[in-house]
């Protein structure tokens, strides 16, 4: 591979400022004279042979660079940092986007970083990661699919695979080659703020939806195609099993996210580990991300719990050795810093546990340090013999294998041939179908649904005309936002296009209700992500997505304003349909439920609200089934199918059908 000599000289000068790393890089023997190809540059050789050849040519500094992942903000102003430090990866966190948030700008940005990586001595390309958890949600204009909980309601593995493929196509066309998805957790407590990232509460359902990995990565040998990305199964393991911490509620700490799974090893194997068996062996997922959470199989104190990022027994012992996982393990966002001890101890514990690449963003001025401290820390640990070179070589070999499989050595820059497919009509049609299939009909007195197109319709509720709310978290920004606007249709838009009679909209039901109108009230949650969605969790003091307004604590209760809208509309219309747009079940009090004729779980449908209207008006039948149990009260949580005492409002798997 030939490289620009002027750019290489510039990178060498930049590297001189990085001390020992620069010395190690400059003292290494150049790979070859002129343009003569080396074995690792030969695409006709087996991947294993290319990895072995390249690994044998690398210095310690270059190897540790491959194990290091920076955030785009860390390097955007000065991409030569990538060259000087031989960085192996860059990511975009939630909301970390180029100033012009378009597919072309994304591709330009990723290629700019890639060119800096190619200027290194060996020309090892970057792998760029992004949270494409329900479509390429960071990108304005991308197709935004229902979150996983809605996809679990479809019970349609082939559709989910197609969604994975579209997500991969839109992601890779805009530059990133790696998706931090899917979440294959089994959510066992709806008070958890990440419930909507789970396909459901049973391992069987979650495993059936892992076809999304095939959609993202393709079949073996397809990973280097321009419409595939490396997938990442997360969060390994047990993040959906953590115990709700009443003492943390309201204190600013997360009462369940990043908590402790206090279960027996047998239960852990069944509910936490079992989804990873097909992910690794059947779907051949390329990377795995450990959880922030901890395990405690012995019922000890909090101090006895083992953080997953330091759990050698599970990462190396179970995942790599027993399951023969051949991909690499990527740490979560600065997660190793939650391990006991000082930073040196944290790096040592996580590397020895089996973590291969480290997501260590700086993002100054928010964080004092990141990858810039990780690199010298790991270098010193190897120098003292505390981390053996064999562990470094294993980690780097796994990372290089993924890069070879992705075809990055042959085609490092973005293949833009599919840019015109980002947010295309065809892709949005698949999203609309997914929305329709995800709708779960819970109540339908006297065949209220489907509605007749000729009926006059009165629409109310906080989520009827808010595309930010219906898209949820991980949309444009980490937490999402009620004021976020993406291309697509709100539920109200869908109703207005489907109805042939008059449509009146009043969010709080303050406008007059026409005579003989049917009512549709769309209620639910506002967006959140991770611990900020925990019931009783912290109130976020500042939310740019909501114009700096405080985000309210989550309760799993319908807001008082929405309850009043339901009462008003149900009292004044000929029939009353309530749609719950949320990332988990919300509590419907008996007195309120008795006023409702039809009740629908709409989940977080994403950009295509027209799919909701499709089932409301009978263009598509209701076929969705509950992926989680719907409780009567929050006090019933955790409640799951198979519990000894099981008395939900609606059982797991429930769902009425209007299929004829």
pLDDT tens-digit readout, 550-581: 667 899 999 999 999 999 999 999 999 999 99
Q: Does the active-site annotation cover 360?
A: no
If you average pLDDT over residues 138-151, what whole number do you get?
98
Q: Which two tokens stand for residue 17?
A: 């400022």
Residue 253's pLDDT is 87
Q: Are strands 328-329 and 287-290 parallel, antiparallel or unpaired?
A: parallel
Q: Are strands 598-601 and 440-444 parallel, antiparallel or unpaired?
A: antiparallel
The burial class, CB within 10 Å (0-12 / 13-18 / 19+), for 542 is: exposed
Residue 424 has pLDDT above 50, yes or no: yes
What burial letters (b/e) apply to 34-57, b meaning 16+ CB within 10 Å? eeeeeebbeeeeeeeebbbbbbeb
Q: Which tens digit of pLDDT belongs to each residue from 277-302?
A: 999 999 999 999 999 999 999 887 77
Mean pLDDT, the chain, rounded, equals 93
Find the catalytic residue in 115, 190, 332, 608: 332
Q: Where in the chain is the domain with CATH 3.20.20.300?
A: 56-420
Q: Which tens digit of pLDDT belongs to each residue from 48-87?
A: 999 999 999 999 999 999 999 999 999 999 999 999 999 9
Identify the band that residue 249 occupies on the pLDDT scale cut at 50, 70 and 90.
confident
Residue 6 has pLDDT above 80, yes or no: no
Residue 23 has pLDDT above 50, yes or no: no
Q: Poorest-confidence range of 113-127, 150-164, 192-206, 525-539?
A: 525-539
Instruction: Assign domain 56-420 to its CATH superfamily.
Output: Glycoside hydrolase, family 3, N-terminal domain (3.20.20.300)
Find the catalytic residue in 245, 356, 530, 543: 530
Distance CA(491)–CA(376), nearest Å, equals: 52
Contact between 218 and 521 (Cβ < 8 Å):
no
Residue 540's pLDDT is 63
If you average pLDDT over residues 427-433, what whole number do you get?
98
Residue 17's pLDDT is 36
Residue 20's pLDDT is 43
If you average pLDDT over residues 305-332, what whole number do you get?
98
Identify the band that residue 36 occupies on the pLDDT scale cut at 50, 70 and 90.
confident
Identify the band that residue 13 occupies on the pLDDT scale cut at 50, 70 and 90.
very low
Q: Which tens digit of pLDDT belongs to each residue from 182-197?
A: 999 999 999 999 999 9
The pTM of this model reads: 0.94
Q: Which tens digit of pLDDT belongs to each residue from 591-639?
A: 999 999 999 999 999 999 999 999 999 999 999 999 999 999 999 999 9
Q: In what order do the strands lie in the sheet with 68-71?
A: 178-179, 127-130, 89-92, 68-71, 358-359
Q: Which two tokens stand for residue 627?
A: 């992926």
If you average pLDDT over residues 12-19, what whole number do you get?
35
Determine what percent of the chain is predicted with pLDDT higher than 90: 88
If you average pLDDT over residues 170-174, what whole number do you get?
98
If you average pLDDT over residues 146-174, what whole number do you get?
98
Q: Which two tokens stand for residue 517?
A: 């109108």
Distance CA(635)–CA(507), nearest Å, equals: 30
Q: Does the active-site annotation cover 332?
A: yes
Q: Poorest-confidence range of 20-34, 387-401, 645-659?
A: 20-34
Q: Which tens digit of pLDDT belongs to each residue from 330-352?
A: 999 999 999 999 999 999 999 99
Q: Compute the 3-state secondary structure of the chain and give helix, strand, coil in percent, each to the nearest 5.
A: 40, 10, 50
Instruction: Assign domain 439-636 to its CATH superfamily.
Output: Glycoside hydrolase family 3 C-terminal domain (3.40.50.1700)
Residue 511 has pLDDT above 50, yes or no: yes
Contact between 83 and 61 (Cβ < 8 Å):
no
Residue 299's pLDDT is 81
For 317-450, list the strands marked E by DSSP.
328-329, 358-359, 440-444
Residue 461 has pLDDT above 60, yes or no: yes
Q: Can you say whether the dihedral through the CA atoms of 543, 549, 555, 559 is positive or negative? A: negative
Q: Where are the alpha helices (H) located in 146-236, listed in sequence order?
A: 148-154, 157-173, 203-208, 211-217
> How many other C-beta atoms can be found within 10 angstroms of the C-beta atom of residue 338?
16
Rounded-to-10 torsion of CA 34, 37, 38, 42: 160
Q: Where in the chain is the domain with CATH 3.40.50.1700?
A: 439-636
Residue 3 has pLDDT above 50, yes or no: no
């Amino acid at each position: 591979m030939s490289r620009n000599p002027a750019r290489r000289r510039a990178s060498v000068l930049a590297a001189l400022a990085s001390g020992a790393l620069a010395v190690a890089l400059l003292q290494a023997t150049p790979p070859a004279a002129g343009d003569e190809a080396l074995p690792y540059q030969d695409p006709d050789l087996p991947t294993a042979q290319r990895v072995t050849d390249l690994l044998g040519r690398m210095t310690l500094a270059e190897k540790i660079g491959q194990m290091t992942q920076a955030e785009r903000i860390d390097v955007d102003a000065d991409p030569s940092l990538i060259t000087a430090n031989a960085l192996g990866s860059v990511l975009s966190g939630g909301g970390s986007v180029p100033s012009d948030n378009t597919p072309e700008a994304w591709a330009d940005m990723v290629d700019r970083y890639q060119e800096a990586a190619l200027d290194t001595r060996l020309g090892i390309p970057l792998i760029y990661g992004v949270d494409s958890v329900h479509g390429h949600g960071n990108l304005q204009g991308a197709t935004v699919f229902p979150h996983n909980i809605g996809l679990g309601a479809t019970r349609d593995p082939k559709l989910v695979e197609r969604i994975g493929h579209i997500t991969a196509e839109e992601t890779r066309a805009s530059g990133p080659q790696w998706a931090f998805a899917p979440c294959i957790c089994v959510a066992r407590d709806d008070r958890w703020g990440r419930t909507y990232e789970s396909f459901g509460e049973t391992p069987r359902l979650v495993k059936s939806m892992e076809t999304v990995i095939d959609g993202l990565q393709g079949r073996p040998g397809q990973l280097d195609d321009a419409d595939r990305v490396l997938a990442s199964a997360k969060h390994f393991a047990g993040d959906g099993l953590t115990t709700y911490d009443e003492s943390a509620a309201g204190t600013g700490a997360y009462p369940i996210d990043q908590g402790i799974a206090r279960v027996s090893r047998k239960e852990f194997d069944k509910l936490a580990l079992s989804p990873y068996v097909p992910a690794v062996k059947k779907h051949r997922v390329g990377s795995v991300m450990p959880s922030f959470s901890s395990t405690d199989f012995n019922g000890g104190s909090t101090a006895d719990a083992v953080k997953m990022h330091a759990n050698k027994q599970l990462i190396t012992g179970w995942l790599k050795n027993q399951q023969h996982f051949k991909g690499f393990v990527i740490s979560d966002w600065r997660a190793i810093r939650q391990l006991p001890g000082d930073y040196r101890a944290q790096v040592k514990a996580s590397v020895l546990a089996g973590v291969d690449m480290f997501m260590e963003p700086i993002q100054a001025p928010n964080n004092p340090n990141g990858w810039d401290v990780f690199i010298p820390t790991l270098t010193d640990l190897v120098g003292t013999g505390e981390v053996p070179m064999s562990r470094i070589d294993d980690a780097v070999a796994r990372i290089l294998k993924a890069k070879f499989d992705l075809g990055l050595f042959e085609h490092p820059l973005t293949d833009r041939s599919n840019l015109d497919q980002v947010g295309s009509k065809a892709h949005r049609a698949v999203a609309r179908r997914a929305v329709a299939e995800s709708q779960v009909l819970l109540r339908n007195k006297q065949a209220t649904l489907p509605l007749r197109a000729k009926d006059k319709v009165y629409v109310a509720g906080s989520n009827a005309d808010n595309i930010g709310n219906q898209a949820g978290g991980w949309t444009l920004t980490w937490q999402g936002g009620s004021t976020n606007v993406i291309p697509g249709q709100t539920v109200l838009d869908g109703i207005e296009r489907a109805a042939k009679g008059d449509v009146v909209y009043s969010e709080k039901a303050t406008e007059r209700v026409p005579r003989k109108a049917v009512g549709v009230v769309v209620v639910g949650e506002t967006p959140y992500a991770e611990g900020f969605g925990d019931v009783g969790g912290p109130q976020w003091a500042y939310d740019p997505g909501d114009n700096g307004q405080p985000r309210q604590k989550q309760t799993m209760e319908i807001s008082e304003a929405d309850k009043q809208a339901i009462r008003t509309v149900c009292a004044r219309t000929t029939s009353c349909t309530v749609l719950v747009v949320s990332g988990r079940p919300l509590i419907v009090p008996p007195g309120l439920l008795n006023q409702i004729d039809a009740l629908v779980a709409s989940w977080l449908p994403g950009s295509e609200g027209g799919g909701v209207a499709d089932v409301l008006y009978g263009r598509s039948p209701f076929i969705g089934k509950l992926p989680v149990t719907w409780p009567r009260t929050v006090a019933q949580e955790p409640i799951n199918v198979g519990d000894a005492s099981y008395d939900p409002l609606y059982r797991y798997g429930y769902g009425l059908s209007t299929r004829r």
